[in-house]
Amino acid sequence: MQKLQSLSKQTASGLPPWLWNILSLTVLAVLACIAYWVTKSLLSNWWARRYHPTQEKQRDRVLQQAVIARLANIIPALVLIAGTSLPALKLDATLIIVINNVASAFIVLTIALALNKLLDLVDVVYRRRPDAQSKPIKGLLQLAKIVLFVAATVLIISMLVNRNPLILLSGLGAMAAVLMLIFQDTILSMVASLQLGSNDMVRIGDWIEMPTQNADGFVTEIALHTVKVQNWNKTITTIPVRKLITDSFINWRGMFDYGGRRIMRSLYIDQRSVRFLNEDETKKLEEFVVLNEYLDRKKKELAEWNSKLAERGAKPINQRRVTNLGTFRAYVDQYLRSLPSINQEMLILVRQLQPGVTGIPLQIYCFTSDTRWVVHEGIQADIFDHLLAILPVFGLRVFQQVSDVSGMIAAPSAFAQEKLDNATTPL
């Protein structure tokens, strides 16, 4: 009797049931593809005619098109759900349930992805507000994304297993502690990765310095759990992602972005060589073009000060005079400002630090216009070569500690040797 019934089913449609289901699914898939293509074409053409963004708002257009493209994916799922109820297809009841559940889950996923892009668009638009820097909403948007995807995940799972979402949530509550214990490293790393990416703290190619992890070099890889740093000695340091959130580190990306690499080095001046300049020495230093403005200003300032002292009958010892160290400091400042290799738009500073047992530190603080390490070191060396060579012209000496001078003979300079050769020794 059962054989006769199965035979009647086969002869009623002309095909076996499994083959008929395959043909019906093929027809539904073709209809869904056609509906998707028509919907996306219509929405794209409509949006292209309606919206003409400027170059500044090009990112807005990309995000808005992404939202529209995500929403267009809902149409094929709706076609599949509607097609399963057509009597002409005569699909199996179990297959109808599976198609409806999968299509419903796909609709939920599509809506979640579209809302995610919409939140990105809200963030981009909000950043153009004048108060966006003082009142950021990125953290709130990230929290909204987390809630969105958690809710979408629960709904998708409940639809796929054909159960009530509340029942699924009650079961997940009992497993939450076990899941967090097993996947605590993954959860912490995922949260840290989200924070690193959203705050733009580290990128591949950044030079970072993290002494606590013995890392000093360029980032070569950013994974879920680790960040790889190639150090200057070509070794590889692997840093847990969460360490970049909990521990402090230096990212040198700003140096490359601003186009200036810092020079902060000191010349140690022998304090015993600091003195006043006499008139002849001042006139000699006026031959330096970079010192003309400084010396003229100092002459006027000191002349005005000293004239007031003379009116009060003060003795000449109270007069102010130009020092060789102050003049040299002015020379260094103007010399740095004349160099094209120094970034003139950034801070240039020549200052005295606290004197100590090693003399008076004259610190030079500026930025080279080339951030490459080798070029930067070459510029820095050229500057200090010049300053060390010209220091005696100002009557100054560099402080240098000597542990033992016994048995050491200082070679005379060419000028001193010439004087010695021409000198006559009295009998």
**What values do phi and psi take at 236, rounded to 5?**
-115, 125
**What values do phi and psi take at 297, rounded to 5?**
-65, -40
Residue 357, SS3?
coil
> Tell me, what DSSP letter sits at residue 132?
T
- 107-139 core/surface letters (b: 16 or more CB in 10 A; e: else): bbbbbbbbbbbbbbbebeeeeeeeeeeeeeeee
Residue 113 has pLDDT above 60, yes or no: yes
Residue 345 has pLDDT above 80, yes or no: yes
**pLDDT grade for 425, boundaries at 50, 70 and 90:** very low
Q: Which residue bears the tokens 């297809």?
A: 89
Where is average pLDDT lowest: 154-168, 205-219, 261-275, 369-383? 154-168
Beta bridge partners of 250: 209
Q: Which residue bears the tokens 């149409």?
A: 75
* Bridging pattern class, strands 215-222 and 207-210: antiparallel
Beta bridge partners of 365: 264, 349
| pTM for this model (two decimals) | 0.57
47's enclosing H/E stretch is: helix 17-50
* Residue-by-residue DSSP string for 146-181: HHHHHHHHHHHHHHHTT--HHHHHHHHHHHHHHHHH
AA letter at 70: R
pLDDT for the residue 171: 64
Where is average pLDDT lowest: 80-84, 106-110, 375-379, 415-419? 415-419
In the predicted model, what is the mean pLDDT of the chain? 78
269, 353 Cβ separation under 8 angstroms = no
Beta bridge partners of 208: 217, 251
pLDDT for the residue 21: 63
Residue 348 has pLDDT above 80, yes or no: yes
Q: Of 350, 338, 389, 346, nearest to 370 (Cα)? A: 346
Listed in sequence order, the residues at least 6 apart from 186 whose beta carbon sits closer than 8 Å to its beta carbon are 224, 225
At 279, list the tokens: 């008139």
Of the ranges 24-38, 86-100, 289-303, 375-389, the best mean pLDDT one: 375-389
Of the two residues 119 and 405, the one the predictor is more confident about is 119
Mapping DSSP onto H, E and C, the string for 284-312 reads HHCCCHHHHHHHHHHHHHHHHHHHHHHHC
Domains of the chain, start order: 11-169 (no CATH), 202-258 (2.30.30.60), 261-394 (no CATH)
Q: Of 260, 212, 265, 294, nearest to 372 (Cα)? A: 260
At 37, list the tokens: 């293509």
**pLDDT grade for 82, boundaries at 50, 70 and 90:** confident
C-alpha gyration radius of the chain? 40
239's enclosing H/E stretch is: strand 236-240
Beta bridge partners of 103: none
CA distance 284 to 331: 14
Q: What's the rounded mean pLDDT across residues 188-203?
A: 80
Beta bridge partners of 367: 262
Within the chain, what is the greatest distance between any pair of CA atoms?
150
| Cα separations in angstroms, 18 against 7, 90, 372, 423 | 14, 11, 69, 121
Torsional sign, CA 312, 317, 322, 328: negative
Of the two residues 296 and 142, the one the predictor is more confident about is 296
Torsion of CA 64, 70, 72, 76, to 10 degrees: 180
Where is average pLDDT lowest: 37-41, 226-230, 327-331? 37-41
CA distance 185 to 192: 10
pLDDT for the residue 160: 81
